[in-house]
Homo-oligomer: A and B are copies of this chain.
């Protein structure tokens, strides 16, 4: 018998002791991080709401109860009963019965109403029909991304259960080694922005954190081929953890499956969906530019299939000696600070991912309160000694002025942005400014995935700030549904019309002018001295955005195959308060107010000078051991 089977027998014995005789336990298995208990008495389990909580705390595991298939009410019968139990105003759209797991997926406009106070309605449902209800939201704005992910996962249910069972056995295997150590190996994003990737390793486990590309570079990948990563095959990596969906963190996650990786990806649900959206768009962009895409779209589906979504705050076993907890990072939808607890109190490491320290219109500021942390791996995008940004109020004033000026000249304002995060923040700013009459009403065109990304935001409002959540649920108040927003769906013809037309604002990807429809807009508007190009986000070394900021006066247009240029006669402005990244002050505050104070900080995800400045100032001002690692180094803790 394998050690996992042996251990499951022990678990089963404990459960048998705890569960009253009259409630049957027919089987116990692992599915991913969860322990699944099969029973012929699902109604009894539901009636004893305390029982599962008691088992979970005794076994120190997350527990799911599943009915044996033959004790369930037939779906047709169950459906009427369920619809009867749920209040009308929940807006139930659809019910999906899965006989393999005894789950019924309820899609509704107001999931909270379906769930009831502390899950009361859900328990009632199980008590009545035996099925285990799972509730998902009907997005207020239809998102093909979310639809596709949900349909795909429905269709792949069986495959997915196999994956989860395998992963579950991996997680709960017996640790083998007598050694004790914790190491971090840097594969990318050290003394540079882009290609984030780190290995967290113990004698028993290796975790890959992020796997991004480098914007504007010629396919520079993280160093995935070294022995600590995938150099000796894909078996050695136990799990991938994704901080957020931006391509400099996620773009090469699907590539791992081409390498043969077959393990889990842990991230939030919105990160999973946005990763799908952005990586598929990334493949399209590559193809449009005549480059060879780094992998097939099939690999994106593999990545989604292998994703185990976690919610903020859930403490989850992801390896025999590692527990992962995600916390809000304030940067984009679903972005996480990833906290790793190693061993039984041995060591704790937090990876900040990208963070925004202060609250924004979209998100609460990043969490920096943990039970324990000895080492922090901290982004340093704006870590340079002068990287203090104006506050958002001033920035908004400046942006509005730029728009007003362009409007007065009959010009347009082109704002290159990431599809995810900054676009939605700007939409909120612009909607409010027009509603208040601060700037004239005019169309705001959204090009290149921005609308789709916005739809994903409305699917997961629990990841947004409270006030915004409420507005999104109210159709008349949903700011993203304001009239002036126009998703571009007519291609270059529509763009031409807009360029020839009246004043308007254009938000378009990519955010650093490394491709995407922003290039078409630049071709159209570049020579127009009445229009204004406005940067609102970080421009990495080597990107066209950076070069324009430095003052070049013509820009290449068309794909990589062509070498045409247009003169750049439009105005160029930078408004720096809208970044999704904490500025220098925010980074300092994040550390200063962090609880507990970390012993060591690795400053990464910033230019050489930014990481070194931040490292040396945190050391001098806050007396913490800091490092500005290079790629390909390994640090040992404990």
Closest CB of chain B to A581's CB: distance in Å? 26
The 8 Å CB contact of A236, one of B185, B201, B231, B632, is B231
> Which residues from B are CB-within-8-Å of A631?
636
Closest CB of chain B to A230's CB: distance in Å? 10
Q: List 8 A-B contacts (CB under 8 A).
A: A179-B223, A179-B225, A181-B223, A181-B632, A185-B634, A201-B227, A227-B227, A231-B236
Residues of A129-171 whose CB lies within 8 A of B: none
A306 CB–B CB distance under 8 Å: no
A232 CB–B CB distance under 8 Å: yes
A491 CB–B CB distance under 8 Å: no
A313 CB–B CB distance under 8 Å: no
Residue of B nearest to A629 (CB): B636
A309 CB–B CB distance under 8 Å: no
> Which residues from B are CB-within-8-Å of A181?
223, 632
A225 contacts B203, C-beta separation under 8 Å: yes
Interface string of A200-237 (1 = CB under 8 A from B): 01010010000000000000000101111001110010
B231 contacts A632, C-beta separation under 8 Å: no
A630 CB–B CB distance under 8 Å: yes
Residue of B nearest to A183 (CB): B632
Secondary structure of the A side of the interface?
loop
Q: A206-B227, A225-B203, A232-B236 are in contact. Are A632 and B632 (CB under 8 A)?
A: no
Closest CB of chain B to A180's CB: distance in Å? 11
The 8 Å CB contact of A632, one of B223, B232, B636, is B636
B231 contacts A227, C-beta separation under 8 Å: yes
Q: How many residues on A have C-beta within 8 angstroms of the other chain's C-beta atoms?
A: 24
Residue of B nearest to A227 (CB): B227
> Which residues from B are CB-within-8-Å of A632?
181, 183, 634, 636
A370 CB–B CB distance under 8 Å: no
A633 CB–B CB distance under 8 Å: yes
Residues of A188-207 whose CB lies within 8 A of B: 201, 203, 206
Residues of A590-638 whose CB lies within 8 A of B: 630-636
Candidate in A177, A223, A227 with the most chain B CB atoms within 10 angstroms: A227
B225 contacts A177, C-beta separation under 8 Å: yes
> Which residues from B are CB-within-8-Å of A177?
225
Residue of B nearest to A203 (CB): B225
Closest CB of chain B to A93's CB: distance in Å? 49
Residue of B nearest to A233 (CB): B232
A636 contacts B636, C-beta separation under 8 Å: no
Closest CB of chain B to A39's CB: distance in Å? 42
Residue of B nearest to A179 (CB): B223
Roughly how many angstroms separate A233 CA and B206 CA in the complex, as a whole number? 16
Shortest Cβ-Cβ A-B pairs, 7 listed: A232-B232, A634-B634, A632-B636, A227-B227, A227-B228, A633-B636, A630-B636
The 8 Å CB contact of A227, one of B179, B236, B635, B636, is B236
> Which residues from B are CB-within-8-Å of A206?
227
Roughly how many angstroms separate A227 CA and B228 CA in the complex, as a whole number? 5
A635 contacts B633, C-beta separation under 8 Å: yes
Roughly how many angstroms separate A633 CA and B632 CA in the complex, as a whole number? 11
Closest CB of chain B to A409's CB: distance in Å? 49
Candidate in A185, A206, A231, A632 with the most chain B CB atoms within 10 angstroms: A632
> Which residues from B are CB-within-8-Å of A633?
183, 633-636
A228 contacts B228, C-beta separation under 8 Å: yes
> Which residues from B are CB-within-8-Å of A634?
185, 632-634
Roughly how many angstroms separate A562 CA and B508 CA in the complex, as a whole number? 80
Closest CB of chain B to A552's CB: distance in Å? 29
